[in-house]
Each structure stands twice: as structure tokens, then as C-alpha cells.
Structure 1
Amino acid sequence: MTPSSSFPATRSPVRPKTALIIGAGIGGLALGIRLQSLGFQTTILERLDQPGGRAYQRRTPDGYVFDMGPTVITVPHFIEELFRLQRGRAELGGPDFPEEVRAAERVRSGDSGGPATRRYVRLRPILPFYRIWFDDGTYFDYDGDPESTRRQIQALAPEDLDGYERFHADARDIFERGFLELGYTHFGDVGSMLAVVPDLMRLDAVRTLFGFASKYFQNPKMRQVFSFETLLVGGNPLSVPAIYAMIHFVEKTWGIHYAMGGTGALVRAFVQKFEELGGQMRYGAGVEQILVDGRVPGRRTARGVRLESGEELLTDVVVSNADWAATNLQLLPRSARVVNTDARVRLARQSMSLLVIYFGFQDEGPLDLRHHNIILGPRYEALLREIFGQKVLGQDFSQYLHIPTLTDPSLAPPGHHAAYTLVPVPHNGSGLNWDVEGPRLVARVLEFLEERGYIPNLRARLTHQAYITPDYFQGTLQAHLGNAFGPEPVLVQSAFFRPHNRHEDVGNLYMVGAGAQPGAGTPSVMMSAKMTARLIAEDFGIHPSIVNGVADAVPEPTPA
């Protein structure tokens, strides 16, 4: 399918086609906006009382605002494209990364984002991207500036200066092929995967990311700096493929951004755009079952959903933005699944989970911290093996400490900071009792932050404290085994081997979000939405056949 970059999306002569999206996460909202622009009449069904999914935002009675999930925003032109869409004017084709986007300079101050974005939400660039703290008290300010990077390597690991130059060049090649050229490729058949294998081998992109980084860096600190980022999308640096080295260049090219008001402000802006295009939101609308027609396994068709209330909704298209494993194991009858069998789903490797502590504290002077802080423990490889392999809690931990009030004081009462710290932990396949282990780990983490001087006198300054564990992901978010990021992005669960956006077993059923291609992370789920929208447009005959600016009529879809 090679659609034009912007084309009128037309409707059936009888009625607009309808779509139901299960889940109002960022992927579901982005797809809802795109389906509305394609002419579908779309309803998003959200089990919780507000949108966001993993990006849910919590407001407390004492004046704090906490983003409960993603806080790192990259690739702002993905957001701009969504806000630019209009009803009946879809943007699904053309170059996904036109020259003006490829050559865009990163904004280093003021507001970022394009003119359409600024009508809905304010994005601010964050520098440095991360302050990466090592266990000996030294740190590395990662800001994407090669000169700054060279100066810091010279200070911390001068033996790795030449290695950085080689890493920079090779990571750029992976970024250009893996992201700019293949980023929007939906690997729906074996042939599409085989076509890229030679390039992946040539780029050495199939070895592990940590092994790839270790080719260029001898110093353990530099190996950690240039491999840790996959943890923010649920990937173990010791096992994800080296194609994820492209994250370095994604961030370097377009920067790290923050939505004023928190990620929740971006979520609300997406809802506003979706509703302006005519879409409908329904909250407290948990889905109990996806309804399917037909008796032949592998040839059945989704025809709607049954809500937990018992209400049945019929539609032309069903899309799940819910957890991939839960969608198959809980929402679809076993008889409808040939590829996504119980055995396949249960054997799939799920990503790690998280313990996240949300806390407010009194501001008693400047903090030697930044908006995003990565605090690494004394062990890197051993800790990763414990979390992902042995599924045990270790004697130490690493964490991501987020203090958005350094950028946006509106998230806390005057004279206070709002923060969260995120600790990678095993998912619930571990058998750990979080009613016992949760409070223990929270106490250890807060004690660490205080005694190591990151936030002096923290426990006496605390004015608010709450936390979530893998039980929140499994119970509230209905993620299989309490995973935090969907299927783990190892090589055998990437590209063609990752769940397909067009469901392999049930016609007119699609997937979007972290559990589908290309994977987890806010930019990836927005890419997933565009990929899924293309497949739906293709399946429903919405093609870019334009004559004098008027699109051909949309034919009725061929029954699955």
C-alpha cells in the first residue's frame, strides 16, 4: 500500500463505518484520532474513570499531581501530525520522515512542538535528557550534544573516546535504517522479515545491545550510559537486540520533551482532539468479551464487544489497546485462536514490572538533581539477570527518579516538590508477595535517597506518599502477570515475531499499542497507531485514488 501523504477519506454510501477501541491509552487515543480522520465513527471504551491507561494521571486532595506512567516524550513531530489531522483528511502515506523532519534541529529552550500542537498542549525541551548517577557518586549528564559527551567521557573514561566515535557512527547507521527507513514497516509475513535480515546482520543489530556497546566501550560506566535506555521500554540491555541503539539517535535528533501539566495534559489534549473530530469516549466501560462470528477456527470475524455491564455493542472494526496477552486469554474465546493459542501466549516472555513510589516533599533549597535522573546501583549486569532471569529481588536496586516540579511547579502545592521514583522489579511470574515486599522495598528506597544525599532529610520532609507494585499492573490495568510494558522486546519477539497489528486469528480485529508492533514507549505506540490505521484503511478499501481532489467511493469490505 503506497497512499499519498494526505488524501480525503470517504465513507460508505450507506453509513459511516464504525470502530470500537478497547482502552484509552496513548496508542488507543492516537488510533482513535486517525480513524476519525479516515471517516470511521469511533468509540473508545475505557474501563477506568479517566483516559491514559498506563499514562493515567492521579490528583491528590492535598494538591499534588502525579503522572503514574510515562514521563519521557520524544519525537514531537509524531504529536504534531496527530493534532494536524482533520475529519476526512487522513495522513497515512508519503515519507514518514520527510527531509524537513529528518533535518529538524532540536529545540534547546522555550516551547517545542509545531503550531498545531501549541493549540492543544505546551511541550518544553528538557536538558540534560538524563543525569545518570553512578554508585560512586559521579554522574554523566546525557544531553545528546557530541561535544558535551566527549568532554564527559574524557573526564570519566578517557580510554573510550575513540570507541565513542565508532559507536556514534554505527548507531547512526542503525537509526537511519532501523528507524527512518523501517520504523513504520508492519512485518505481517515472513517475507517482510527476511527482506531486512541482511541489513540487520550487516549493521550487527542482532547481537545484544549490551554486547554491542561493549564492542566500543571498555569502561563499565560508559557501557551503562549507552545501554540503559531500553529499560524505559521494558527491555533488558543484556537481551534486547542492538537495533535499540537507535534510541540514542532518536533522542539526539529530536530531544526529550515534557508536556506542561504532565503527560496527563497530553492525554487530555488527545481526548480533546478526538472528540473535536466526532469521536466518543466512554469511561467505566470495561470489556468482558470480544464477540466473534463464524465457526471455523482462524476464519472468524469480530463483530463487537460485550461490556462488563452486559451491554453488547456491534461494530465494523474492533481494536484492542489492552494488554496483548490479556486480550487473547481473557477477551477472546479459545476456539477463535489458532496462532495465538493459550500455549503461545503463556510461553511468551513478558517484560519486567515496576514498583513506583509517588511522593511529595517540602522544598528546603536547591537539589543537586535534574528533571530526569537515572540512579544506578553497584551492580548492573547481575541485577538485570536477577530481575529478568531469576525473578528475585536483589540486595540492591537501580531507579529512575523523576522530579517534574523542577520544570513545572504547578504539580505541587507552593513550596513543595512532586516526585516519583521507579524501580524495575520482576513481574508476577516471580511469585513474590507484594503486600509484604512492597512496603519493605519502599522503605529501603526512601532511606537510600535520604542517606545517600540525593534528597537530604527526605523522610522528615515528606508530605505525601503512595506506591504501586506489579499487583497494580495485573489488577487495575489487567496486564498479564503484572507486566509493565507488554511482551519483552527480545529478538524472538521483535518485528515479524512480535504480535501483529492485524490480529492473526480473527478478522476485523486489530491490535495497537505496546503489545503490538513496533513496541513499547510513547513514540512507538504512536507509530503503532499509524501502522494499524494503514492496515484498517487497506482492509476497508480506503485507497489514495484521487482525481481532481475527489476520492473514489469506499467499497464495502470483503467479509473475512
Structure 2
Amino acid sequence: MTHTPPSTPAHRKTALIIGSGIGGLSLGIRLQSLGFDTTILEKLDAPGGRAYQKRTEDGYVFDMGPTVITVPHFIEELFALERDRAALTTPDYPAHVLEGERVREGESGGPRTREYVKLVPILPFYRIYFDDGTYFDYDGDPESTRRQILELAPDDLAGYERFHRDAGAIFERGFLELGYTHFGDLPTMLRVVPDLMRLDAVRTLFSFTSKYFQSPKLRQVFSFETLLVGGNPLSVPAIYAMIHFVEKTWGIHYAMGGTGALVRAFVQKFEELGGQIRYGAEVERVLVTDARGKPVKRPAGARVARGVALAGGEELHADITVSNGDWANLYLKLVPPQARLVNSDVRVRAARQSMSLLVIYFGFRRDGPGDRPLDLRHHNIILGPRYEELLTEIFGEKVLSKDFSQYLHVPTLTDPSLAPEGHHAAYTLVPVPHNASGLNWEVEGPKLVDRVLGFLEERGYIPNLKARLTHSEYITPDYFEGTLDAYMGNAFGPEPTLIQSAYFRPHNRSEDVRNLYLVGAGAQPGAGTPSVMMSAKMTARLIAQDFGIHPDLLGGPDVSVAQSEPEAVGAAD
């Protein structure tokens, strides 16, 4: 069955987006503002992708994926867009955004955001627990940070001042100036290499932090954050030191109702602009032809995306097709091999994928008689006894370690609505190898869950947890591989190593197939909630260029992007 929207005026272009994650929704909003009629196709029964929100029969609400929200002006910019009116006069980082004070209490987010969702600041950003029971409250306040360093490792205070200066320089160049640059050709990349070398941003992040801090604890404090975007601190480039300044500049925020509330707000905005979402619409393949509309027989000549075929056999045609799904499986499963020259099976399978996760979603009774009060924060990083060795086992050796670190999220400390009265909802996230490990998660999953929950009780993080536990379920790499269709069960797309960053990361405009684009964690600039919103703007600019719409209509400065092949449609370069 073939379907083309019958009522679409001749002058309007059509777009299909595979996946309703935050990246796909953000791009859908932008495409509607550009004048495209956009349909988002979602395999699951509700929006969000990795940011899917689950409601249980016993009254708990769990965000199944991202929980850390930063750079609220990215969100405000999306809610300010209007249908067929993409003109924005503000730059990517307006002066008031850079100069304004970070919100430390009350409600955060701009006036348009407040019409759709309530954001509140979270302090501290993270409480970071060390294995010896001490902790560090990271809140982005330099004075608070200095005070805690003096208590923890006073000899490292001077090193912190140097780190603060040098990480700030990386942030200004790598995020503020280059953040929206699409590295579509090698010369674009080579032009920035001297600056990155000068900033020492190409060595590994852990090596970079080790220059400034002698204390193992502080080395962990200022390098762990890349784990939240799938990066190994021992191998990601030091440009990721900018995460420290991204959080410090704009704070950490929470959407009341959970990240799912932000997803629903994006859906509302998208539909207000005229976009449509179809749920239970699993894409089986991208329809690719040659320039004459004939089947492609070899990976040469014109290759053009014409739409998609759904698992039930229905075909949907559109002017552009965008994948917000997993990069590797887009090419390995959805795009026929005879249509791929750059993203061949060999190249895709050779790419290093990020680690995976075991995530436990659980509910428990609040403090009862005889229970020690809960002494946790909204975001808690609980580090194990080993750091470098554990990372090597997860990312390199791909084995299940004898110990673990975890991120414990307790949103009901901020938002009691996510649990029945008198209860907490929580999840704890444990980095584990992806499925190249060969681990049998039906066997190993329950054992690791028992170890993690037992640890939280025995170490006193949640006293008497097993007696207070009222709900428990979990996901493993099998969920990422099966339900989310992520290659080898990766949780964050390609691992952000130096040789898989910038130009070497998958391009937002397909190098193989015209009118096929990518957005989200697998594309540039990378994983993480702010990054996938940036990815949406970058991809929208490429589409605007290819269809003769000047990129200034999307706000901010022009970007220099070379066409990946000479037959690109309507190129404005």
C-alpha cells in the first residue's frame, strides 16, 4: 500500500521522522516552522524513545531514560517557534542567556516554556559519594566548590583554579563558538584542530583532569559526567571538560512530572504547529531509488530517499526522511546495502558503540518508625572502590565486574506526584558492557539487581530498603537492543572517542542517500539532552540549505557546510 498525503498543497514539502525521541520531536517542531508537513513515526505506544515514561498500575511514574535537563534556553527557543515562520532574530546564545544569573530556586525556563511545562532548578546538581562514605556536593558555585576542595584535598585548590580557567576556554571555543558547527567535510574539521591542540582538548578527559588534581576523588568529580552521555572518561577527548561549564553556566533542571512531561510538552507544541505522530508505526526500511525513481542496483550514482515502508507493508512517501533512531541500525537494517558506499556494513560494524546500562526502577515506603531518615539528593552519583579499572572492564574488556558505580535518581524528593502518597519513586543506573560481551542477561540481570539493591541497603543509602520495597523492575542491554533497536544494545549511540567526534561522527546529512538525514544521539554533536536539541537545529539548517531556505531563518549565524555529493538537492552553498 502506498500513501501520499492527498491534501498537501503543491508548494509545501513533506517530511517523515523515524522516532519520537527528544531529537526527533525537536526537529519536527523546527520543520513545521520551516513550512514542511511533518509526520513522526514511533514504534512504541507513546512518545519519547529513550525518554519514554512508564506509569505502573500501582501508581508509580518512572522516566526510563534521561533525567538531567540543562541549557533551558534551548527549550525556550523551540516553544517560541511558529508555524511557517522560522525567522528568529536571536543568535544561538543571546546576550541575556550568557549574562543572566543562573536560577537557584523557584521556577526556571523562559515565558513560552512556562506555557507548556514547569521547570525547576535542582541543587546540588549531584551529590557524589565516594566508596569511603565521604561525598562532594557539586552545585557549580565556585565558592562552594573551593570550600569543599579545601576540606577534601587542600593541595588541589590551585589546580582547581587552573582547571576552571582552562575548562572555561574549552567551553567558550568548543560549545559557544563551535557547538552548532556541522563537520560535514574534512577541511571544516582541520580548520579547528589548531585551536583544539592549543587548548589541550584532544588528550583524554581523565588525563586532562589529572594535570590539575592529585586527589583521585577530585579527578573523578571532574571527569565522571561523560558517563551520562555514554563516554568513557579514559578515552573521550578533553573537549568534554566543557560539560562542567555547561552545567555551571545554566544549571541543572527538572521538569515537574518528570522528563516525560517535557516530552509531552514537545508533542503538544509539534501538534499545535500542524505536525502528526503515528504510534505503533515500526519502520521496516527506507525507500531508496535512483534519480529516475528506479530501484538502486549498486552503491554508485544518485541514491534518493523517497520515504519509508512500515512493518505492515504500508509505504509512506515524502520529500525528506530523517532518522532519530540508532545510527548503526539505520544503515544495517533500513537502508539497502546497494545504496551505501560510505556507511558500508564494514564501516558501521567497526565503529565503537557506547556502553549499555542496567537500570532498576523501584518504589519504596517513605521513612517509617525506626527507619533512619533518607539522606539523599535528587541526583546521586555513587562511585565504587575502583574507577579506572572499572571503566576499563566495562568499555574495553566488556566483562561484568565484581563491583559497580551507579547513578541513583530520586525525583520524589522534588516531585512527590510520581509515587503513591507516602512513597518514593527512584531509579538507579549501572553502566555495563553492551551486548558484544555475550553476557546472558536473563541470568546475570536478576543477580546484579539483587547486588545493587542489597548494596543500597547495606551501605545505608536507603535503610531497610528490602522491607520497604513495594515495586521493582529493571531493564538490561537486551531492552536497548530489542525494544529500542539499538545496535548491540548500546545506550547512547557511537562512543564519543576522539576518532568518533566532529567530522568522524556520523553526519546529520547522509553521505550515501540524498534527502536522508539524521538527528539525535547518533549524529553530531552527540548524546545528551542539550546535544540532541542542538542536533535538531543543525539538521534543520542542513535541510534549509538543501531546499533553498537561508539558514538565518533558523536563527543564529550561518554555518559552513560542504555538500557530501554533487547531486544534493537545491544546494545553497
TM-score tier (shorter): over 0.9
1:93 to partner: Cα distance:
7.5
1:484 to partner: Cα distance:
0.1
Change (3 A) 1:92 1:480: farther
1:476 aligns with 2:483: yes
1:559 to partner: Cα distance:
9.8
Equivalent residue for 2:518? 511
Amino acid at match of 1:462: L
Change (3 A) 1:464 1:14: same
1:497 aligns with 2:504: yes
Q: 2:412 aligns with which of 400, 405, 411?
A: 405
Amino acid at match of 1:293: T
In the TM superposition, 1:454-473 aligns within 5 A as 454-473=461-480
CA distance in 2, matches of 1:545, 1:280: 26
CA distance in 2, matches of 1:217, 1:368: 28
| 8 Å contact from structure 1 (residues 210, 237) kept in 2 | yes
CA distance in 2, matches of 1:13, 1:126: 46
Equivalent residue for 1:98? 94
Equivalent residue for 2:30? 34
Q: 2:254 aligns with which of 244, 247, 258?
A: 258
Equivalent residue for 1:552? none
Change (3 A) 1:544 1:473: closer
Q: 1:16 aligns with which of 12, 25, 34?
A: 12
1:90 to partner: Cα distance:
1.1
CA distance in 1, matches of 2:452, 2:90: 48
| 8 Å contact from structure 2 (residues 514, 569) kept in 1 | no
Equivalent residue for 2:155? 159
Say which SS state the counterpart of residue 305 (structure 2) adopts: strand
What's the C-alpha RMSD, in Å, of the aligned pairs? 1.5
Amino acid at match of 1:335: Q
Q: 1:324 aligns with which of 323, 327, 333?
A: 327
| 8 Å contact from structure 2 (residues 289, 304) kept in 1 | yes
CA distance in 2, matches of 1:493, 1:252: 26
Equivalent residue for 1:302? 305
- Figure out how many residues of one structure are paired with residues of the other and give that number: 540
Residue-by-residue CA offset, 1:125-171 (whole Å, 9 max, x unaligned): 00000000000000000000000000000001111000000000000
1:528 aligns with 2:535: yes
| 8 Å contact from structure 1 (residues 354, 469) kept in 2 | yes
The gaps in structure 2 that reach 5 residues or longer are 1-7, 291-295, 554-567
CA distance in 1, matches of 2:551, 2:332: 37
CA distance in 2, matches of 1:103, 1:346: 44
Equivalent residue for 2:367? 364
Say which SS state the counterpart of residue 112 (structure 2) adopts: helix
Amino acid at match of 1:539: D
Equivalent residue for 2:277? 281
Residue-by-residue CA offset, 1:17-38 (whole Å, 9 max, x unaligned): 0000000000000000000000
Say which SS state the counterpart of residue 291 (structure 1) adopts: strand
Structure 1 window deviating more from structure 2 (89-98 vs 223-232): it is: 89-98
Q: 2:217 aligns with which of 183, 199, 221?
A: 221
CA distance in 1, matches of 2:63, 2:181: 31
| 8 Å contact from structure 1 (residues 92, 530) kept in 2 | no
Q: 1:59 aligns with which of 51, 55, 59?
A: 55
Amino acid at match of 1:356: V
CA distance in 2, matches of 1:21, 1:303: 13
Amino acid at match of 1:45: L
1:443 aligns with 2:450: yes
CA distance in 2, matches of 1:518, 1:92: 22
1:543 to partner: Cα distance:
2.1
| 8 Å contact from structure 2 (residues 125, 139) kept in 1 | yes
1:334 aligns with 2:331: no
Residue-by-residue CA offset, 1:33-84 (whole Å, 9 max, x unaligned): 0000000000000000000000000000000000000000000000000000
Say which SS state the counterpart of residue 524 (structure 1) adopts: helix
CA distance in 2, matches of 1:177, 1:15: 40
In the TM superposition, 1:73-92 aligns within 5 A as 73-91=69-87
Residue-by-residue CA offset, 1:168-215 (whole Å, 9 max, x unaligned): 000000000000000000000001000000000000000000000000
CA distance in 2, matches of 1:284, 1:13: 27
Change (3 A) 1:361 1:39: same
CA distance in 2, matches of 1:544, 1:150: 43
Q: 1:346 aligns with which of 345, 349, 355?
A: 349
CA distance in 2, matches of 1:543, 1:234: 34
Change (3 A) 1:349 1:91: farther
1:94 to partner: Cα distance:
5.7
| 8 Å contact from structure 2 (residues 545, 571) kept in 1 | no
Q: 2:432 aligns with which of 421, 425, 436?
A: 425
Change (3 A) 1:40 1:225: same
Amino acid at match of 2:261: A
Change (3 A) 1:465 1:544: closer
CA distance in 2, matches of 1:368, 1:57: 26
1:88 to partner: Cα distance:
1.4
CA distance in 1, matches of 2:105, 2:478: 39
| 8 Å contact from structure 1 (residues 104, 254) kept in 2 | no
Structure 1 window deviating more from structure 2 (319-328 vs 88-97): it is: 88-97
Amino acid at match of 1:250: V
Equivalent residue for 1:488? 495
| 8 Å contact from structure 2 (residues 324, 519) kept in 1 | yes
Equivalent residue for 1:7? none
* TM-score computed with the length of structure 2 as normaliser: 0.93
CA distance in 1, matches of 2:88, 2:175: 17
| 8 Å contact from structure 1 (residues 401, 419) kept in 2 | yes
Amino acid at match of 1:373: N
CA distance in 2, matches of 1:13, 1:199: 48
Equivalent residue for 2:65? 69
Residue-by-residue CA offset, 1:391-411 (whole Å, 9 max, x unaligned): 001110000000000000000
CA distance in 2, matches of 1:557, 1:161: 55
CA distance in 1, matches of 2:58, 2:11: 49
1:13 to partner: Cα distance:
7.9
CA distance in 1, matches of 2:243, 2:475: 27
| 8 Å contact from structure 2 (residues 548, 571) kept in 1 | no
1:102 to partner: Cα distance:
1.2
Equivalent residue for 2:358? 355
Equivalent residue for 1:238? 234
Amino acid at match of 1:135: D
1:505 to partner: Cα distance:
0.2
Amino acid at match of 1:27: G
Change (3 A) 1:364 1:94: closer
| 8 Å contact from structure 2 (residues 87, 552) kept in 1 | no
Amino acid at match of 1:448: F
CA distance in 2, matches of 1:537, 1:104: 31
CA distance in 2, matches of 1:91, 1:523: 21
Residue identity over aligned pairs, in percent, reads 80
Equivalent residue for 1:553? none
